[in-house]
Amino acid sequence: MSPEADKKNWVGKSLPRKEENRLLRGRGKFSDDIKLREMLYLRFIRSPYAHAKIVSIDVSGAEALPGVVCALTGTEVAQQTQPFIEIGPDPFAKIKDYPLAVSKVRYQGEPLAAVVAESPALADDAAELVQVDYDPLDPVVDAENALTNKSILHEEAGTNLVWNGIFEYGDVEEAFRDAAYVVKVDHLHFHRFSSTPLENNVVIAQWNPKDERIYYQCNNSFPSFAIQFLAAHLGVHIDRIRVETSDIGGSFGIKITSYPQMAVCALASRKAGGRPVKWVETRSEHITSSAHGNERTFRDTRVALDKNGVITAITSRHIDDCGAYPRYEPLGCVIWSQVFPGVYRFKNARIDFSQAVTNKCPVGPNRGYSRMQHLWFLERVVDICAYELDIPADEMRLRNYIRPDEFPYTTPNGCVYDSGDYPKMMQLAKDLIGWDDWKTKQVIARKEGRLIGIGIGTTLDSGTNNFGQSQIVNPFLPYSGNSQGANCKLDIYGEVVVAVGSCPQGQGHETTAAQVVADVLNIHPDLITVRTGFDTERNVHTGFSGTYASQFAVSGLSAVHGAAQKLKAEMKRLAAFALETNEDDLEFGTGAQGPETRAKSTGKSINYWGLANLVNANSAALPPELYELTLNCRYIWRAPFKVPDTKKKYGSLTLTYAAQLHMAVVEVDCDTYIPRILDYVAVDDCGTVINPPIVEGQVYGATAHGIGAALMENCVYDAVGNMLTSTFSDYIPITAVNMPNVKYGHIETPSPHSYSGAKGMGEGGAAPIHTISAALQDALFASGIVIDDSFNNADSLFRALTAKEISQADKLVKVEKRV
Amino acid sequence: MPEAVEKVTLQLTVNGKLHSLSVEPRVLLVELLREILDLTGTHVGCDTTYCGACTVLMNGAAVKSCTMFAVQAEGAEVLTVEGLEKDGELHPIQKAFGDSYGLQCGYCTPGLMISTLQLLSKNRKPNEKEMRKAIAGNTCRCTGYQNIFKAIQLAAKNMNGA
Ligand code: FES
Ligand code: FES
């Protein structure tokens, strides 16, 4: 039977979110809201040094405190566990990463011991009684310095270079030989920041020695990845680890890498005789030691252009800083290449990509992971070339964009951009911001001595990744493709219940999943229950299940759609039997007795309770040929990927390419140097939209993260590795008074690669960072400034604008004219 | 070395209900609400009085309950998110946040709604600047504030019966 087309009653509609009822009433269930009988509380003891030998740890004082149950040190952990799996190849595959530091600490805030007590306050008191002697070592806080290997972080590797690879496509030499212009940019730098979800990490673990099972209630956002790491590390059967999540207060990728803390909580629980152990991270712990986004430096960039300013080739050297332990890395060393040419048509390029460890907090997949750094680099390159060649920034982009008629577009490295229309997005953005008007105002303002700039940022949010790209960093890795699971069932009384392998943190998955199922069954979404959160014991997950990499609308909803269709097919077989008709005669809808299946010919119907009853409770009435029906349908959706050519670093790395085009008008105050946003537009294209306000909301959210990162949010370390921005009062997440009003626009270029035409979205490609850099560039180019850093605040602009030596632009950029 | 701490007695009203308790003096108001009274709708997001996830109304004023000792609430009337609804009916502010998609993960929402309540009970028609200022102490990491602004305006409109 071929599945009939869905009704289109609900997909595409602005359905209010199902999640709201509990969240608005203060009845959400976040991990820290959970209290278990006999629960204990864990505190970490953390290093004040960025790099030091641990001479001794004395936990006896803490253990002697009444109410303290046990303490745990790195040495003990190392005796009881295997080091975590390393994703990268040798020599970094040899490093020993334990969740508590064993013989040395490698970043400020690294945990090296833990205490467990009857109350959080007692655990705090006990932590202060742990005595540690350190022997400080030379800290390395800069990735390029790290590559000199003067001070080695991981002796087992013998180098600080985690990974290096050359990504070369086309004929670079020829392009440079034929170039009309060659623009050289000495360096660019993308700063470290973190999306810092409002809810910190929380882990509750119970390792019951009696049944040898570990039960987690936590807010990890990629649990199926976490259990793969934990099972190998703790030496337990993966099925013995249960992970359950409920409401999660944001993650943005940061909560993917909480598995080390999960390991410690489990070991502590076992040591405490199986009592549950809870760890609630403080904000300072979160900022110093959970995960940051990747910092990246771009060196010796050369750009070849023809006489019209069309870019023909780029060569560059990129150095990525992954902090003290690779953990999820070196995946970031290849993930950026999902958007290798950005939105541009150039065919020839060579990028020499390296990643180094430094004595800073390990990085994790932060919203826009690894692609935003590269997209920012490309947008800077395009703008710098535009200004140097005196081509307007909008015109420069139009000359270089991939054209609407070129989709599906195969990039030089074999990725297939599914659909898009960048010029149309630009026009819409111009209309929304009033481009011509601002251009006129800018001229007048300049005459008054005001520094106003208008910037454009075009960017991509590649979603549903091909894990085969991991084999580009390490050919021995056993991962490829992508998949997601979902389950759709009729329960005993006929309720429709959906479970998804995703792990939502505010994206409204319960709502959009219900919309999809509602269309398959032609019933109201209110009649569909979508389970909250993730649970390994629902048995719907695959090895890739979680919420990350902008993909739910594709992988998650395709799985839900498949499961719903499978259920519907079973219901049809049952109904045909019950109504004594054939399947083609059946229609789905809602009748006097609730949701039902009807025979068109006779008008007879059977409701969902009747169908469920036949399978679950009245099975003697069922003929043997229908015994195989379960009304409990698990479906695994698989993305149609091949393993990339790992030698050539060539292949399809992501399924969908949502695009963002932002415009900003920014003024730098001539007295205070404070950059202020005067106008802001965000235009989004994520293909067919499932629920418009949910998409719009995520665009706003990603915009706020980007604006915050561009102007306010920076993880600052001093020369010896002290983290200087370890609280919200120093890190300063963007607030309601800093956030401009955003004018939102969208176009839809449906993806041919997903069943609904939707593209994954949510990460947003960090468009505001590119856009604000571009606007500042526009404001300051005449003053001899080239924006070379992704972070710009009053302080850095003051320094740039008051520097007395030769213009910074002259040092940074060189143009060779050959025409 | 911490010594056994003597507990202090405390009386306060939370969401209309009178509580008589004895707590350690170091217990914060937010800990009292969450851990002792099990009102877990009030959240904690930072340790420097920045984020406002912990905002509750105390004697009509929005306060950050992470930065107060419970004993400072002696005799006070405290309102938390759980006290906003009446007989299962959402408060107009709750409704407006829902209708405007003013939340995503919902972690910040209780605090934001309490700050909104304080604003609208003093100023029935706040202008944009007043509105932004009123929630300057409430961080939201998900929404970019746009739909929260819409929610506050909608709540103001509905509460004015317009
Ligand atoms: S938890 Fe109270 S202000 Fe952040
Ligand atoms: S909705 Fe997530 S922090 Fe505001």
pLDDT tens for each residue of A630-681: 999 999 999 999 999 999 999 999 999 999 999 999 999 999 999 999 999 9
Say yes or no for a CB contact (<8 Å) between B104 and A508: yes
Which ligand is the nearest neighbour of the Cα of A704? 2
Say yes or no for a CB contact (<8 Å) between B106 and A199: no
Pick the atom of ligand 1 nearest to B43's CA. 1
Say yes or no for a CB contact (<8 Å) between A125 and B34: no
Q: What is the pTM of this model?
A: 0.97
CB A679 within 8 A of CB A442: no
Nearest to A532 by CA among A36, A25, A32, A21: A21
CB A284 within 8 A of CB A398: no
Query: Distances from the Cα of A83 to the Cαs of A44, A94, A618, B53, in angstroms?
Result: 19, 10, 53, 37
Does ligand 2 come within 6 angstroms of the Cβ of A610? no
| Residue A364 predicted with pLDDT over 50 | yes
Closest-CA residue of chain A to B105: A506
Sole residue written with tokens 């202090």: B8
pLDDT band with cut points at 50, 70 and 90 for residue B1: very low
pLDDT band with cut points at 50, 70 and 90 for residue A805: low
Closest-CA residue of chain A to B28: A121
* pLDDT tens, position by position, A36-92: 999 999 999 999 999 999 999 999 999 999 999 999 999 999 999 999 999 999 999
Nearest Cα of chain B lies from the Cα of A704 at a distance, in angstroms, of: 5
Sole residue written with tokens 């959706």: A637
Tokens standing for residue A671 = 């007295």
For A472, residues 6+ apart whose C-beta sits below 8 A from its C-beta are: A165, A334, A337, A644, A646, A649
Nearest to A322 by CA among A281, A286, A349, A353: A353
Helix (H) or strand (E) segment spanning residue A724 = none
For A444, residues 6+ apart whose C-beta sits below 8 A from its C-beta are: none
| Residue B5 predicted with pLDDT over 90 | no
* pLDDT tens, position by position, A728-783: 999 999 999 999 999 999 999 999 998 899 999 999 889 999 999 999 999 999 99
- Domains contained in chain A, CATH given: 3-28+483-638 (3.30.365.10), 34-137+200-281 (3.90.1170.50), 164-194+291-468+644-817 (3.30.365.10)
- Domains contained in chain B, CATH given: 8-83 (3.10.20.30), 92-159 (1.10.150.120)
CB A400 within 8 A of CB A406: no
Say yes or no for a CB contact (<8 Å) between B142 and A198: yes
Nearest Cα of chain A lies from the Cα of B11 at a distance, in angstroms, of: 23
Chain B contacts of A252, Cβ < 8 Å? 141
Can you tell me whether residue A618 is helix, strand or coil? coil
Mean pLDDT for chain A overall: 96
Nearest Cα of chain B lies from the Cα of A662 at a distance, in angstroms, of: 15
Nearest Cα of chain B lies from the Cα of A57 at a distance, in angstroms, of: 19
Q: Determine the residue among B84, B129, B142 to mutate to test chain A binding: the one whose Cβ has the most chain A Cβ atoms within 10 Å.
A: B142
Q: What is the ipTM of this complex?
A: 0.97
Judged by CB atoms within 8 Å, which residues 131-150 of B form the interface with A? 132-133, 135-149
Closest-CA residue of chain A to B139: A735
pLDDT of residue A804: 66
Say yes or no for a CB contact (<8 Å) between B138 and A736: yes
Q: Which of B97, B104, B141 comes nearest A733 by C-beta?
A: B141
pLDDT of residue A638: 95
Does ligand 2 come within 6 angstroms of the Cβ of B105? yes
Chain B contacts of A130, Cβ < 8 Å? none
- Other C-beta atoms within 10 Å of B11: how many? 12
Average pLDDT over residues A273-301: 98
Q: Determine the residue among B145, B149, B150, B152 to mutate to test chain A binding: the one whose Cβ has the most chain A Cβ atoms within 10 Å.
A: B145
* pLDDT tens, position by position, B57-98: 999 999 999 999 999 999 999 999 999 999 999 999 999 999
